[in-house]
Amino acid sequence: MQKITLSTIAHKGKIAYRLHFAYNDALKEVIKSLPYIHWSATHKCFYAFYDTIPFKALYKQLRDLNLFVNYSQLQKTRGVTTYVKTPSPLKLPQLAESTQRDLSRFVRWMQEKRLAVSTVNTYHAVTSLFLQYLQLKQVANPDALWIQRFNHDYILKGGHSVSYQNQCINGIKKYFAFKNLEVENMKIERPRKEKRLPVVLSKEEIKSIFEATHNLKHRTLLSLIYSAGLRIGEALALRPQNIDRHRMLIHIKMAKGKKDRYTLLSPNILQLLETYYRVYKPKTYLFEGQEGGAYTSSSAQQVLKKAMRKAGIFKQGITLHSLRHSFATHLLESGTDIRYIQSLLGHNSPNTTMIYTHVSEKSLKNIKNPFDDL
């Protein structure tokens, strides 16, 4: 798992995140394509301004690339809300060879259980830290108490996020299951995650993004993601045969949670797809790269970034997933039953879908303000 370090720099009179990583041509191209990321010839680094992308959004972008993000060097600056990180006082030792072999067996065990690649990488990274901590403390038989101590000594004192803390607990519990250690009755307190509302684009903003996208493949990709409420991974995994033009549905196979589902196929999207087929003639995947294979997520993010810039949209935190959020919100505002929206999005629980009731402009506007009765 490659590491990327975030620190703070002053650039062009503003505060910015500095992104530092060991040189890698492939990673360099991916980082360069991310929204709001720029190259500074002055500082010889990639950077993003604090006021253009929130820390959480930047962190998620980097974690989605399976990068281990070290943000211990970020500082609080006047007028900017961010995180103050204090490096952990612990200096963890290198793992013994026998423990490294055990960790490799743990990885193979997770792979055999068909866990997602990103999950395997994350659990491997956090479990490695936990085992280093146990080695430092000379613990041979760990239990729930040692997970709590690791949580306090490494995660909390290191100033890590709630999300990272939960990832650590999940990864360590999975390791305990691999070792056939008792995990069911472990009473491990989990911190509550912050509940942030999704960023949603208006219909006018969505339309302006499409109008600013002149490349046929790019416009078809963005339009399909929005019109069907797709995750980017689902869109890039689509094959031509997944488009059911007779039933006007799109078959999403092995989506999140390894579930299949159907979602909407717009008549206008079908017309756009027919034009796209004639020009690009996709073979294996619906959207293919220049050298074959599926189109990459980083390239798709770059498409949206350029379209937003051309359309003059500078909202913070907009990613391809925002098109999915916008699809769900616009359906809700048009009166679609939330149970249907849940099915189209592939949510396990209606509680997940209910978040869109909090960002629906129509539902908020229908509430009469008591101030108006005074």
Cα–Cα distance list, 270 to 2, 245, 259, 264, 277 (Å): 40, 7, 24, 11, 10
Tokens of 77: 């600056």
pLDDT for 154 equals: 83
Query: 249: closest CA among 276, 269, 274?
Result: 269
Q: Are 80 and 51 in contact (CB under 8 A)?
A: yes
Which is the catalytic residue, given 47, 59, 164, 356?
356
pLDDT for 365 equals: 62
Active site residue 276: no
E strand residue ranges, 253-367: 261-264
Q: CA 68, 318, 369: angle at the middle one, nearest 5? A: 125
Low-confidence ranges of the chain (pLDDT < 50): 76-87
For 179-198, how does the pLDDT look when each residue is reduced to its tens digit (9 = 90+)?
Answer: 988 765 555 555 565 566 77
Active site residue 356: yes
Half-sphere exposure of 1 (CA within 13 A, CB side): 24
Which is the catalytic residue, given 256, 277, 280, 306?
256
pLDDT for 369 equals: 63
- Output the pTM of the full model: 0.58
pLDDT for 217 equals: 95
Length of the chain: 374
Query: 135: closest CA among 98, 175, 164?
Result: 98
Active site residue 321: yes
Which is the catalytic residue, given 85, 231, 305, 325?
231
As beta bridge partners, residue 102 has none
Q: Domain extents for the chain?
A: 3-73, 97-178, 203-364
pLDDT for 216 equals: 95
pLDDT for 190 equals: 59
pLDDT for 279 equals: 94
Q: Are 216 and 276 in contact (CB under 8 A)?
A: yes
Q: Long-range contacts for 320-323 (Cβ within 8 Å, ≥24 apart)?
A: 320/225, 320/232, 321/198, 321/231, 321/232, 322/198, 322/199, 322/200, 322/201, 323/201, 323/206, 323/222, 323/225, 323/226
Active site residue 358: no
As beta bridge partners, residue 10 has 15
Which CATH superfamily is 203-364 part of?
Intergrase catalytic core (1.10.443.10)
Active site residue 324: yes
Dihedral sign, Cα of residue 10, residue 11, residue 14, residue 20: negative
Amino acid in position 217: K
Active site residue 330: no
Q: Are 294 and 288 in contact (CB under 8 A)?
A: yes
CATH 3.40.710.10 assigned to domain 97-178? The reply is: no
Query: 218: closest CA among 157, 276, 155, 291?
Result: 276
Q: How far is Cα of residue 3 from the mean position of the Cα atoms in its chain? A: 17
